[in-house]
């Protein structure tokens, strides 16, 4: 009887370890995908920012901040 339990426990542990390995693979995969998305989003933001800066006709950021500080409420 004890031997039968040990076999059951052993196979159950093997199954659990296999499941944990699969979960780990999934987490690593998702992490890589998320990092790639974040990097792409950042590059897109910088690209748009550069285009907006080239087209901007208003005051510079420094001038805008200076004007806001001088405002009297």
Range of the domain at 45: 2-70
Q: What is the pTM of this model?
A: 0.48
Tell me which DSSP letter residue 73 carries: -
Per the structure, the count of domains in the chain is 1
- The tens digit of pLDDT for each residue in 17-72 reads 999 999 999 999 999 889 999 999 999 999 999 888 888 888 888 988 988 888 76
How far is 58 from 64, CA to CA, in rounded Å?
A: 9
């Amino acid at each position: 009887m004890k031997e039968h339990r040990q076999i059951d426990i052993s196979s159950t542990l093997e199954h659990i370890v296999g499941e944990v390995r699969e979960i780990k693979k999934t987490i690593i995969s998702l992490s890589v995908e998320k990092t790639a998305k974040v990097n792409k989003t950042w590059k897109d933001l910088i690209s748009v920012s550069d285009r907006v800066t080239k087209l901007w006709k208003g005051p510079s950021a420094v001038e805008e901040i200076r004007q806001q500080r001088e405002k009297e409420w």
